[in-house]
Amino acid sequence: MVYDRLRNDILTCALEPGSDVSEQELAARFEVSKTPVREALAILRSDGFVRIFPRRGYQIIPVTIRDMTELFDVRTILEGGAAELAAVRISDAELDRLEELAQVVYDRAEQPSLKRFIQANRDFHLAIAAAADNSRLCQLLERQLDELERVFYLGARLRDVNSEVIADHTKIVQVLRSHDPAAARQILIEHNEQTRRGLSGAIADGRGFAGLGL
């Protein structure tokens, strides 16, 4: 329970990248003893979300430009291939579900609204991978989206991406309906590159958080 809640707080940036935390502070936050907190932090450390400093405590690992670039590189490779396969195999029901997910919007001032939007975005991309009918590909992409979730939260809080995401996702569905593998691959590559540019621009403009490194 502590692991799940702590991981959620890290991914949603309730605990911001670069912030310091202690076992005592987290035990009070979750109303538990230090033992489950220590065990949860050990797992999160192996997951790559937390690092320890002797005699100081723990730090939520910052998000760096290099991290973001590497993750988007891998995501582009995976999603381009997934879209190519999905264009051939996707069903009408799966396409209709994608259209529904493409229309979800959020209010930057409301955390529950933002959480629904991020979840819908995740579901949209994983649904394309699922339509590719390759379980290993789905697992790999799910891991990448886990690691990028903090970046998505930060980006959506820094700028309103509603119209941009709806437009991109709608185009993706239209291309998938054409069942053109090459076009599907290309539009996912372009979508990921646009997302990467938008996030990088927001950070470069100085509207980021302390935990976003350069």
Q: Residue 209's pLDDT band (boundaries 50, 70, 90)?
A: very low
| Residues 6 or more apart in contact with residue 50 via CB below 8 angstroms | 10, 21, 41, 44, 58, 59, 60, 61
Q: Residue 90's pLDDT band (boundaries 50, 70, 90)?
A: very high
Is the confidence at residue 205, as pLDDT, over 70? no
Domain that holds residue 206: 64-213
Please state the domain count of the chain.
Answer: 2
* Average of per-residue pLDDT across 38-61: 91
Element (H, E) at 63: strand 63-64
Domain boundary among 61, 82, 106: 61
CATH at residue 53: 1.10.10.10
| Lowest-pLDDT choice from 80-89, 160-169, 205-214 | 205-214
192 and 106 inside one domain: yes
What is the per-residue pLDDT across 127-161, written as a single tens digit (0 to 9) for each?
999 999 999 999 999 989 988 888 888 888 888 88
